[in-house]
Amino acid sequence: MRIHTKISCLLACLVSSLGVARAQETVPTFADVTVHDPSVIKVGERWYVYGSHGASAWTEDLMRWTQVATGVNSGSPAHFDTFQSELSELIGWTAADTLWAADVAQLPDGKFYYYYNVWTNLQSYRSYMGLAVADGVEGPFTDVGEIMRGGTGVAGFNPSVHPNTIDPQVFFDQAGQSWMVYGSYSGGIFILRLDQTVGSPTFGRPLPGQGWGTKLIGGNHAQMEGPYIVYSPESEYYYLFVSYGGLAANGGYNMRVFRSRAANGPYLDAAGNDMSTTPIANNLWPTIAPYGVKLMGNFQFQTVAGETGSAMAGYVSPGHNSAYYDPTTDKYFLIFHTRFVGQGEFHRVRVHQMFVNADDWLVVAPHRYAGETITATDAGRIVGAYKLINHGKDITPTVKLSTTVTLAADGSVTGASSGSWQLTGDYDATVVLDGVTYRGVFVRQWDEGRARWVTTFTALDGATGTQIWGSKVAVDTAPAFVTQPAPTTTVGAGETVTLTAVASGEPAPSYQWRKNGEPIQGATAAALTIAKASGSDAGDYSVVVTNSVGSALSAVAALDVQVPPTISTHPASVTQPAGTSTTLAVTATGGGELSYQWHKDGVAFPGATSAMLEFASLQASDAGDYTVVVTDSVAATVSRPARIVVATPVPGRIANFSVRSVAGMDGRPLIVGFVVSGGAKDLLVRGIGPELSEFGVTGAMSDPAMAIWAKVNDVDTVVAQNDDWGSAGGAAVLAPVFDAVGAFELLDPASKDSALLATVDGARTAHVNGASAGVVLVECYDTAVEEGARLVNLSARNFAGIEDQTLIAGFVVSGNTPKRMLVRGIGPTLAEYEVPGVLADPRVAIYAKIEEQDVIVASNDDWSNEPGAESAIDAAGAFPLQPGSLDAAIVVTLPAGVYTAHVSGVGGATGEALVEVYELP
């Protein structure tokens, strides 16, 4: 179809820079709050935490917190207006004056339920759990009543076996069932299924008949408490978090995790211990320490010589955590309270990001969350000295101090521990220290004490459940190359080549690539990619890396582009009578002296070794298909075939055009355009669907409908249409036409295929669609090729890709005289006409049957490389293409015959494309 609208300039970038993305690292700010034993719930854009003593707070970024309440009677409004009277049964049973680790959950009725609890030994061990409700997450909450109680006064209660009825957490499994996990010390951690039937008298409470529920871990007064369960859609595990030890500054509090495929267990540790059946002999720390994956205990990163800023206060007794998976960001968070080195019982809420490692265990980032998102890294960011924390498996009040190791460019680890390190994929880390293998991630984090972003790693020994952390020493270093670009690279013309250099340094260095000593505009990443190398790309490349400390220049990388001979003029097909003279000729350029060898029908033609092949007097035996192989010092190039026909010339013209593709995808029709020049002409246009089954085509459109559109008074108008070709006497009129033009017969006059005769003078488009998507064949036949008016342009627009999704158009050149043609595959330029989802880099190839074989007779990737394309586009009246665009075009002289034009995506690309066939003067 002809489009005469001018389009804006489309910039082509033949050289592009690729590398590790460097997200802008902003300075974070924090605001801290006090909530002991924080349990998290997200409502809208806010995360809330609720904890012991009725404390609560919220945040919208997990960094800047706002305190809501610090006690059971505080808040605005207070969570409980009159704590002593509202919860009198709790106070009477336990003689308590406060609440312990609360959990707030939003249940199916949309309301917010506050699971409160307390334990006291003032009356010889008693615990109580109850439920309150509010319309809003901040309350005020109205008491619903008791859930359960345990301890002295409960018949048959054995504290070594039965659970302490505190520390609840309510969550929903993947099937939508609600559960409550609870317990502290005593008989262990238990789980119960909750009643989630709105209006039920036990709504939000354990379903009857479960007793204490299912035991998950612990027992015999083992110091395990604060259970919390979260599901990971990435690993498809449920993770059970608990805290070991005592919560005080000298209590050795530390966080552990177990995992299970089911919400209610069994939960296993890294060693494979089923904690529901593993006996706990007593509550001594050495007895329980081997179990569970230890995520964090007491630690402090020490100052290393040369660091500025100050050492951040280490954590003491971090624990009683909650956890959260955010599906909007695909991030996992660990929310907990911690005390600090040298600050006694003072505590604050902290949030650390977590990641799923290669063994499907959660690993915890070393520094508090500062808004970071894990992204691709490289060896340059990783190489350097690190402060190393090994959390071990012990339960201890001792603060573990960092040691120093160096991750070297050769993959070794030296220093306080020795071994190796490896980066896999974008950020996965494997660190081997003293013979133990740890798997985790590398991630950039904010070092709050040093007030700067640093590279860190967190990794886990999957055999024992021991976690290590590394935080890069916060010292500025000059750039140094970890990886130099290859000294010599040789590629063929048209191939993609990538030169890579990786440099270390703090701050992270910038890159600037050079060619022959001159900077390359926009080449400012670790990798320099030339998408389609040409002879002009050959040269000496280097890269300068720079940061605030200094700069470094890489070694020179020599790029050699092997360019085969270029044929600017291909031999042209001819039709001449016997006895006349003719010449086939080729024009080519290349490196060094060129040699030639002509072939006829694929066989070398004896003595034909020059740029021209001359025939003084054509004979019938000279008829055939000729090619010439042009060779230079680099390679050989084969010309397009030229056909010699020994006969009286009969003018050639386009007689038939067809497209087979899928129509109706997303409701879009298959659109075929055609242009008649020199007057009016009758065309046969068909939209074939059901009849394709006779040719073994599957997925054919069951009922294609066709409409012919034209511009009438500058308005797009339907000027002809057909649904069922044989209706209303159509079969009697059309069947003889099918036979006259050589179209295959439609066997069933009642078929749902469509066809019509249209008198065309100028441009038309045929739109074929149906009630549902399917394969359809659209054909356009010239019914009288001997007349003066002629088909000069045909086109089709549809989805194109590779292999089965290639957009294929067939056309026939009649007569016996070669016809000069322009064939285009348009993708990027369609975007200028507001076509969505265009094919970014199309390739067009023309196929013909030669000696019963499908042979490519001409092809093109980028139209700017096609000799004569610009003048041919202008002569055809086709819409222009901007220099350097990735659209494709072929200018070729074709002998009479049947051809197909294939438009496919380079490099596996897919998208909307336009295939066009033009007759040239």
What residues are annotated to the active site? 37, 225
Q: Which helix H or strand E contains 873, and what residues bound it?
A: helix 869-876
3-state secondary structure 345-358: CCEEEEEEEEEECC
List, in order, residues 6 or more apart from 375 with CB less than 8 Å away: 20, 21, 23, 426, 427, 444
Residue type at 170 in one-letter notation: V
List, in order, residues 6 or more apart from 6 with CB less than 8 Å away: 880
Read out DSSP for 12-36?
--SEEEE-------PPP--B----S
Q: Where are the alpha helices (DSSP H) in 701-810?
A: 730-741
Distance between CA atoms of residues 873 and 896, nearest Å: 22
Q: Is 581 exposed, middle or buried (0-12, 13-18, 19+ CB in 10 A)?
A: exposed
Q: Measure the CA angle with vertex 775, ends 773 and 778; round to 5°.
A: 115
Read out DSSP for 621-671?
GG-EEEEEEEE-SS-EEEPPPEEEEES------EEEEEEEEEE-GGGPPEE
> Are the C-beta atoms of residues 725 and 754 closer than 8 Å to each other?
yes
List, in order, residues 6 or more apart from 666 with CB less than 8 Å away: none
Strand order in the sheet with 169-172: 169-172, 178-182, 189-193, 214-217
> Are the C-beta atoms of residues 186 and 163 closer than 8 Å to each other?
yes
With CA atoms as reference, report the closest residue to 103 among 41, 164, 158: 41
Distance between CA atoms of residues 900 and 845, nearest Å: 8
Residues in the chain: 921
Q: Which helix H or strand E contains 558, and what residues bound it?
A: strand 557-562
For residue 717, the cross-strand partners are 710
Dihedral of the alpha carbons of 110, 111, 112, 115, in degrees to the nearest 10: -110
How many CB atoms neighbour CB 186 within 10 A?
30
Query: Buried (b) or exposed (e) across 463-499, using 16+ Cβ within 10 A?
Result: ebbbbbbbbbbbbebbbebbbbbbeebebebeeebeb
> Are the C-beta atoms of residues 447 and 506 closer than 8 Å to each other?
no
> Are the C-beta atoms of residues 65 and 40 closer than 8 Å to each other?
no
Strands 126-134 and 112-120, by their bridges, are antiparallel
> Are the C-beta atoms of residues 446 and 352 closer than 8 Å to each other?
no
> Are the C-beta atoms of residues 539 and 471 closer than 8 Å to each other?
no
Distance between CA atoms of residues 732 and 726, nearest Å: 8
With CA atoms as reference, report the closest residue to 648 among 626, 620, 612: 620
List, in order, residues 6 or more apart from 545 with CB less than 8 Å away: 479, 481, 501, 503, 505, 509, 510, 511, 512, 551, 552, 554
> Are the C-beta atoms of residues 140 and 76 closer than 8 Å to each other?
no
Q: At 827, list the tokens.
A: 């993708």
Distance between CA atoms of residues 652 and 191, nearest Å: 84
> Are the C-beta atoms of residues 447 and 27 closer than 8 Å to each other?
no
